[in-house]
Chain A
Amino acid sequence: MSLVIENLSFAYGDVQALQDVSVEAAPGRLTTIIGPNASGKSTLLRCIIGRLKPTRGRVLLDGQASHQLKPRHLAQRVAYVAQRSVVSAAFSIREVVELGRYALPPDHHKVMEAIERLDLSDIATRPYAALSVGQQQRVMLARAVAQLDDEGILLLDEPTSAMDLKHQFDTMKLIQELVSEKVTVLMVLHDLSLAASQGQDAWLLNRGKLVASGIVDDVLDTNRLNDVFEVPFEWLVSKSGDRRLAAMTQQGPMG
């Protein structure tokens, strides 16, 4: 499945959120979308699902403009998890995951498999509203996994921001598994260290403009990051030779 963004611009009234963004997602790879606050990352995802109509340019999914696609057709190709998900009814975890199949043929096996992959089997009958935010993030990811078919596109907006370390680790492992199953993943992340360690490609946004895109190591150039984030960055190398990107403070590396 191809995802091509051509000269995309979008404005919320007078506020320009995206300006002339052109980039293409590499199929079957994990691309992280990074940038400071209000750089247009979430807006970009909302344009991809066709929720926001571009003021200029377009997003093409297999050659079709996303905002002109019927939601039913979009759901067959793209699954999306928002930064803050809401469910306004007292559904159980399983019922929320089943919503991923709303426009698709019912598939009990796929729903149960998604619940299992996100380590939710033991609590599948519990009410969604009673969960912690981190657990709710896992439920929403399970919903998206239940929706995804082979070679689909998965859009994730800060999917692990409220998870504990174990589940953050497990979720990243699952996302890597999905990529190995030929799913194209676009993931907004604030944690540059995580983006550096998990992403294959990266798109760097700043004030609505695409500053750089390509292989993650090339995009995460420390001089470029210093300019964009206005914070000094350094690649730290451990004794075992592992590299880690870190923002530097007077007290040493952050995080």
Chain B
Amino acid sequence: MKFGALVLGATGFAILSLLIDRSPDGVISLAWPDASFARFRFTALAVGIIVGAALAISGVLLQALLRNPLASPYILGVSNGAGLGVMFAMYLSYSMSGGELGIAGQTGPSIIGGLATLAIVYALGQRRGWLDPVSLVLIGVVVSTICGAGILFFQHMVPTGLRGQFTTWIMGHLPQGTPLSMLVVCGSITFIALIISMIMGKAMDAATLGDDEARSVGLAIGPLRVMLFGIAGLLAALTVALAGPIGFVGLISPHGARLILGPRHTMLVPGAALFGIMLVVGSYVGSRLIDVGAGQMPIGIFTALIGGPAFIWLLLSGRGQA
């Protein structure tokens, strides 16, 4: 029943994202798009579904394994690390050939940047050979800030005319021209990650005990952490390649799903994925409805406007305590 409500919510936003039409003079109506537009809207929707689900699953995995409800790919630096990889590649592409780097060309640098950042944070977050969740988050915040500075550095290095393109990417958007092959690859990876995460749901439940007690009930916490961190990093990096760094979805979606479905991870993983889809596609709908400044608003602004206050609420309500 509760799970059904999430399915209904995600489906509702998905349909709305296809039907909303804004005329050049700003009139908003609901209509099935012309064939020429439909393909673009379906592409943006598919990107939104993949990005929302992937960020949310990534957040669930990180929060479970770090035993820290404030953990997310954004806070651990994975998103900014992936972003730095993309930005560096975009800068190289511009300086060597003067051309733009396509979305497919962003995937490799994004994955390398995201996973390299996670590996650095993982290595520096250990104490006496054991992973320390608190150190990991603190190191993540610092590494994320450094990567953020790197992103700004490369943005500064390009001519003024190109900065607009870089800035749009940094704020997060759902591109309508993503190649189908990339959608299939990223969608498949996200779906496989969803299934693996659901299968590992019971193990994540046991991981909520301390490391000592988790081992004593039969959980091999070390290999589980490495595997699920790898999946979380890969998913977050994919989303950056697809849509740029989008904040707060990985943090808020697990909490939203927990409030509705409870803490057991086997149900929490798909529930959070649906919540993430609602958040990203809902933000996309919002961006289609509001047309201010230089046209359509980047969805990263919407997710930050929703996620920022939610983050503060988590801290103040005590739900954000480790």
Do the two chains belong together in a single complex?
yes
Chain A interface (Cβ within 8 Å of chain B)? Answer: 12-13, 46, 49-51, 70-72, 74-76, 78-82, 84-91, 95, 99-100, 102-104, 140, 143, 147, 155
| Residues of chain B lying within 8 A (CB to CB) of residue A80 | 212-213, 216
Closest 7 CB pairs of A and B: A103-B218, A75-B218, A88-B67, A80-B216, A89-B263, A89-B208, A102-B206
**Is B120 at the interface (CB under 8 A from chain A)?**
no
Which residues of B are found within 8 Å of A89, using beta-carbon distances? 64, 205, 208, 263
Cβ of B197 to closest chain A Cβ, rounded Å: 15
Contact A102 to B264, CB < 8 A, known contacts A12-B128, A51-B211, A89-B205 = no
Once bound together, how far apart are the Cα atoms of A88 and B205, in whole Å?
9
The answer on a CB contact under 8 Å between A51 and B206 is no
Inter-subunit contact B209/A87 (CB<8 Å): yes
How many CB-defined contacts (below 8 Å) exist between A and B?
86
Among A71, A75, A79, find the residue whose CB has the most chain B CB atoms closer than 10 A.
A71
Cβ contact within 8 Å between A88 and B218: no
Contact between A82 and B205, CB atoms less than 8 A apart: no
- Residues of B near A76 (CB, < 8 A) are 218
Query: How far does the Cβ of B250 sit from chain A's closest Cβ, in whole Å?
Result: 17
The CA-CA distance from A143 to B264 in the complex, in Å, is 17
A86's partner among B67, B217, B262 (CB-CB below 8 A) is B67
Best-buried of A79, A89, A147 by chain B (most CB within 10 Å): A89
Task: Give Cα distance in the complex from A130 to B170, angstroms.
Answer: 41
Inter-chain contact B67/A74, CB cutoff 8 Å? no
Q: B69 near A: Cβ within 8 Å?
A: yes
Q: Is the pair B210, A82 in contact by a Cβ cutoff of 8 Å?
A: yes
Contacting pair B212 A102 (CB below 8 A): no
The reply to whether the CB of B215 lies closer than 8 angstroms to some CB of chain A is yes
Among B67, B210, B215, which residue has its beta carbon within 8 angstroms of that of A71?
B215
Decide: A72 and B218 in contact? CB cutoff 8 A: yes
